[in-house]
Amino acid sequence: MYLKEIKMTFIQPCTADAERIRFKAKFSTDISEILPYINADVKDAIYNNKIQSLTIRKEFRIITIYGTNLAVSKAVNESEAYEIMDLVKELVNNTYERKDEIEPLYEMREKPSTLEVYKYLPKLNCKKCGQATCLAFASKLLSGTQNIRSCRPIYEEDNKENLEEIKYMLQMMGYE
Ligand code: SF4
């Protein structure tokens, strides 16, 4: 079997929704080579070739697969976490077995727009992040050249839900 084991390494409640959990898990094999094949097969996946990540949204759950590990947000509970790990293992092994029949796809099909990210920023244009405007910061976040931690106002209590939305969009892009 190509991917033999996925082992959970971290689990805790989601920050904005304590009813749900997020978790991380580690693969027994580096599966980076398979990600472009899964990208070709799973039509709504978001593949980021630069950082070798592939994200799949399953209703409200966000599943990001990296070469050697997995990060999942908004899972319902621990038993669902194990089901998701089994699903990922099956997806990887099934794709590996069929890889000679699949044309790998290295491009990202779609990603959140700058305006979608901007919508959730504080829109103060205060320049504390080092950018002239929040819009410029949103664009840098999407290109992976800025970290959300540089925007201090988004960490204020009133912006908690907006921060989570931005984090989910960044996770969709494969950024941790
Ligand atoms: S620190 Fe945040 S609120 Fe201030 S300009 Fe940057 S993105 Fe906008």
Q: pLDDT for 128-154, tens place per residue? A: 999 999 999 999 999 889 999 999 999
Residue 148, token pair as written in the block: 């959300």
Q: Which atom of ligand 1 is nearest to the CA of 152?
A: 1
Burial class (CB in 10 A: 0-12, 13-18, 19+), 43: exposed
pLDDT at 109: 80
Q: Which atom of ligand 1 is nearest to the CA of 150?
A: 1
pLDDT at 165: 87
* pLDDT digit string, tens, across residues 108-124: 887 889 999 999 999 99
pTM: 0.80
Kindly list the structural domains of the chain, giving each domain's residue range(s) and its CATH number in brackets, ordered by start.
6-101 (3.30.310), 114-172 (1.10.15.40)
Location of structure tokens 């796809």: 105
Q: What is the DSSP letter of 59?
A: T
Please state, in angstroms and rounded to a whole number, the distance separating the CA atoms of residues 69 and 7.
9
- Quickly count: other Cβ atoms within 10 Å of residue 22's Cβ: 21
Atom 8 of ligand 1, residue of closest alpha carbon: 134
How far away, in angstroms, is 12 Cα from ligand 1 center?
29
pLDDT at 16: 66
**Which string of DSSP letters, residue by residue, matches 100-163?**
GGS----S------HHHHHHHS------TTSSSSHHHHHHHHHHTSS-GGG-SGGGSGGGHHHH
For the Cβ of 153 lying below 6 angstroms from any atom of ligand 1, the answer is yes
Handedness of CA 116, 121, 122, 125 (dihedral sign): negative
Q: Which atom of ligand 1 is nearest to the CA of 133?
A: 5
For the Cβ of 138 lying below 6 angstroms from any atom of ligand 1, the answer is no
Q: Out of 123, 148, 149, 154, give the residue to mutate to test ligand 1, the one with the largest number of ligand atoms within 8 Å of its CB.
A: 154
* pLDDT digit string, tens, across residues 15-73: 767 789 999 999 999 999 999 999 999 988 999 998 899 999 888 898 999 999 999 98
